[in-house]
Amino acid sequence: MFTGIIEATAKILSKGQNTLALERPKSFDDIKIGSSIAVSGVCLSVIAFDAKSISFDVVETTLKKTKLGSLSQGDVVNLERAMKADGRFEGHIVLGHCEGVGKVVSSSLSGALSPSPSPVPGAGDAAEKTSHVWKGVAGLTYPPSSVVANARAMRKEPTKAEKLLWEALRKHKIKGYYFRRQRPIGSCIIDFYCEELHIGIEVDGGIHDEKEQRMYDEWRSEHLALRGIRLVRFTNDQIMHHMSDVIASIELHCKVPLPPEGGGVRGGGTERGGQNILLTISLPSSLRCFIVHYGSITIDGVALTVADCMEDRLSVALIPHTLEHSTLGVLQAGDSVNLETDILGKYILQAHDNR
C-alpha cells in the first residue's frame, strides 16, 4: 500500500519486452528483492538492484493497460516505496493498481492547448467548442449540455433580488462593462458574469446560511479563483434594501486590476511563479462513476484532491512542491497519465450492485 506522496523521480535506464530498469535514488537505501515500489502509480516488485539501478518484471497486461508500455529509455517516472505498517500514515490510500489511462487536456505549464476531444455539438462557435482557454479562462471547455440547459431555465425564473440587480447591471450600466445572467463556467453557473473582467456576482438566499451550502460556496469560490475568476457575493437583503452599497462595491471590484497576461493559471504561460497550477485530465468512461468533488484521484502515483469533475474530465490543483518533486510539472496537452480512483468508492459501488 502507498500514500501517493512521491519520494523521488528516476530515469528509465532500459526497457525490455517484460523488464524495466530505473536509476536508483540515493534515498532508496532499504530496498531488497521483492520490495514493492510504485512506478508512476503502478505497483512493481524489485527483481534485482545494485548501487545505481533497480530492475522490475512487468507483465504484458500491465504494459498494455498503463502508460508504462509507451515509455522509453530516458523518460522520467515517479517513485514511492511501499508504506511501512508502523509508520505515520499521510496522503491518501493508494494501492498502485492503475485502473485506466487519461490524457492531459490542458495545463498552464504546457503552453500548448489542444482541441477538445468531445465538444458539445451545435453549441457556440467553433472557437468556444475547441479552445481550452474558454472565454479567456484556462482549463475550461464548452460547458456540459446539462449545465447550459439549467442556466437557460434559471434565466427564465429569476428571484426578485436577481431581477433588481439585473436592472442595475444590464446595458453596460456599471462602468460600461457588460454582464451576462446565469453564465455557465465549466460545471458552475454564475448568477452574473463579466467576461472582460473575469468577475462573477452571486446573489445568496437563505439557503446559503446553512453549513453544507457555505462549505460548497467556499469550495466554488476557490475553484473559480484558481482559474482567475473573482467571485463577489451579496445577500438578498443587501440587494433589496442597500442597493446603492451593492453597486458601489461592484464598481470597486471593477477597478481592481487583472493579473498580468500570461501569469498564473489563466495566462497559460510556462513560468510557475510559485503559484498553484490547474491540470485538467480526460477520463475513461469506466472511471467517471468513481469521481466526486473533494474525492481522491491518483495521477501517475501522485494522490490529489479533485477540484472539479465534469462529464468526461476532471481538474486538480497542483501546488509548487508537487510540480517540483514529481513529473506532473512537465506534463503537456496530449500526454498520457496513469489513473487510480479512491479505493472506498470501488467497494461501495460493488456492494451496491450486489444488493
In a domain, 59, yes or no: yes
Residues 42, 151 within the same domain: no
Whichever domain contains 184, its CATH number is 3.40.960.10
Judge whether residue 132 has pLDDT over 50. Answer: no
User: What integer is the mean pLDDT of 7-15?
Assistant: 96
Residues 258, 278 within the same domain: no
Please state at what angle helix 243-255 crosses helix 160-169, rounded to 10 degrees: 50
What is the C-alpha to C-alpha distance for residues 222 and 191, in angstroms, rounded to an integer?
A: 17
Residues 259, 278 within the same domain: no
In a domain, 244, yes or no: yes
Residues 76, 105 within the same domain: no
Our measurement of the distance from residue 336's CA atom to the centroid of its chain's CA atoms, rounded to an integer in Å, reads 15
Least confident of 42-56, 99-113, 157-171, 199-213: 99-113
Residues 216, 288 within the same domain: no
In a domain, 176, yes or no: yes
Q: What's the farthest any 2 CA atoms get from each other in the chain? A: 75
Q: Is the dihedral of CA 266, 41, 296, 309 positive or negative?
A: positive
Average pLDDT value for the chain: 82
In a domain, 312, yes or no: yes
In a domain, 133, yes or no: no
Residues 44, 77 within the same domain: yes
Residues 60, 170 within the same domain: no
Cell, residue 42: 503502478
What is the C-alpha to C-alpha distance for residues 141 and 249, in angstroms, rounded to an integer?
A: 30
Residues 196, 221 within the same domain: yes
In a domain, 40, yes or no: yes
pLDDT at 223: 74
Residues 6+ apart with CB under 8 A from 16: none
Query: Smallest Cα–Cα separation from 265: which of 327, 325, 223?
Result: 223
pLDDT at 116: 33
Residues 110, 170 within the same domain: no
pLDDT at 26: 93
Residues 6+ apart with CB under 8 A from 64: none
pLDDT at 277: 79
User: What integer is the mean pLDDT of 305-311?
Assistant: 78
Residues 279, 258 within the same domain: no
**Number of structural domains in the chain:** 3
Cα 141 to Cα 137, 195, 211, distances in angstroms: 9, 15, 31
Residue 65 domain boundaries: 8-81
Task: Give this prediction's pTM.
Answer: 0.58
Helix ranges, the chain (H): 60-65, 126-130, 145-156, 160-169, 211-225, 236-241, 243-255, 264-267, 320-325, 343-353
User: What integer is the mean pLDDT of 195-222?
Assistant: 81
Residues 259, 279 within the same domain: no
In a domain, 127, yes or no: no
Whichever domain contains 12, its CATH number is 2.40.30.20
State pLDDT tens for residues 256-307: 554 443 333 333 333 444 567 778 899 999 998 888 877 899 999 999 988 7
Helix ranges, 78-125 (H): none
Higher-confidence residue of 78 and 226: namely 78
In a domain, 49, yes or no: yes
Residues 174, 246 within the same domain: yes
